[in-house]
Amino acid sequence: MTWSDKLTETRQQLRALNKTIPDTAQAFGALGKAVKDGGVLEFKTKEYVALGIAVATKCDTCIALHVEALLRCGATREEIGDVLAMSIQMGGGPSMMYAAKALACYDELSDKG
pLDDT one-digit tens code per residue, 3-35: 999 999 999 999 999 999 999 999 999 999 999
Residues of the chain with pLDDT under 70: 112-113
φ, ψ at 13 (rounded to 5°): -65, -40
Residues 6+ apart with CB under 8 A from 43: 36, 73
pLDDT of residue 4: 95
The answer to whether the CB of 109 falls within 8 A of the CB of 75 is no
Sorted by where each starts, the structural domains of the chain and their CATH numbers stand as: 3-109 (1.20.1290.10)
Q: What is the pTM of this model?
A: 0.89
pLDDT of residue 113: 53
User: In angstroms, how far is the first alpha carbon of the chain from the final one?
Assistant: 15
Residues 6+ apart with CB under 8 A from 52: 83, 84, 86, 87, 90
